[in-house]
Amino acid sequence: MNAHHVPSPRHGSGQNRRQFLGTLTAATAACAVGTPRPSRAAEGGRLGIRLGFDNFSIRALGWKADALLDHAAKQQVDTVLFSDLDVYESHEMGYLRDLRKKAADRGLEIQAGTGGICPSSSSFNKKWGTAEEHLSLTLKVAGAVGSTVARCYQGSARDRTSEGGLAARMEDTVKVCKAVRSRAMDAGITIAIENHAGDMQGWQLVELIERAGRDYVGATMDSGNATWTLEDPMSNLEALAPYAATTGIRGSMVWEDDKGAQVQWTAIGEGNVDFKAYVKRYAELCPKVPFQLEIISGFARAFPYFEDGFWKGYEDIRGREFARFVRLARSGKAIPPFRPAEGVDRRKAEQDYQLAELEHSIRYCRETLGLGLK
């Protein structure tokens, strides 16, 4: 996602962690001389799925594209998603092509992206011009850096209570996509729309993609944002995998409280999302799609669905999805939020925390889940 909030520490790291919810009803093989060495993907239970990260995972450092490529190479990942247009020093073709070459020299694939493209969403930023101009610029940047996707999103949970609700915002997003269809098709780039910050559940994003045209529009599948729509990440995976072009993956701790539930995003391997089961299903449904980490952690969001007032804007939530979310919440427990140690500079603490969260997640994905090609 990019619900765009900052912090979060790790269990066992000596720092605090997270907090939420109450009660609810319902539903390697060394090679012999002359024998070709197998790829690392074939060794040690590797699944052959590319592993990478979204630059938003380490947003507090404020690094530009060159530094992020250096860090990605150091972490030995396969891909890196630049999910905003400000990460570049410029949008000049020469500079962007140099980044593409630098990435290739380090065995990295760049994926490009931006923020909201729905002109009627409260999340829309006019910095890059009209919605059509914004998406056109993103496609241009994506082509220059060699990206086959242009990641973007519609809006946020606030759109649910806007005039016309989520349906009206979806219609406006479809219009923007159709306006740039020929550019995307000519460039061979998929407009990859994310289920973002509590806006759409997986089935709703599928509906948007089908209406826009799946020949050039796909999904950025976000496991963490699923929980912000009262959706189990596994339900989200099963809905979006056939449409997925890229991903933004993080863990979640979901737990019950006396008003409903709370959600706190986590590093991979923490929280109560079963990532072994998730990755097994991922390998079955979309093994060619990179597993890109967008780690955002350390703060909780409440979903007081026992209160009548909560449901304004959530009338579209379907029983089956909600029941699976409730079951997930019942398996969770409250965890503390991130707080810097006494006397420590908060900015430095957040930078160190985000680096540690990402590095922990990469190790867990590689060593426990068998992800990555390197």
For residue 45, what pLDDT is reported? 63
Dihedral (CA of 352, 263, 282, 44) sign: positive
Q: Which CATH superfamily is domain 21-32+39-367 in?
A: Divalent-metal-dependent TIM barrel enzymes (3.20.20.150)
**Residue 293, strand partner residues:** 53, 249
Instruction: Please identify every stretch of the chain with a pLDDT value under 70, giving residue numbers as ranges.
Output: 1-45
Question: What does the pLDDT read at residue 26?
Answer: 35
For residue 140, what pLDDT is reported?
98
**Per-residue pLDDT, 50:** 98
Q: Measure Cα distances from 60 to 65, 74, 91, 112, 339 in Å.
A: 14, 19, 22, 19, 15
Nearest alpha-carbon partner for 305 in 252, 263, 337, 250? 263
> Which tokens sit at 51?
């592993």
The ranges assigned to domains in the chain are 21-32+39-367
Predicted pLDDT at 12: 37
pTM, two decimal places: 0.88
3-state secondary structure of 221: strand
| Tens digit of each residue's pLDDT (9 = 90 or more) over 232-243 | 999 999 999 999
> Which distant-in-sequence residues (6+ apart) come within 8 Å of 93 by Cβ?
144
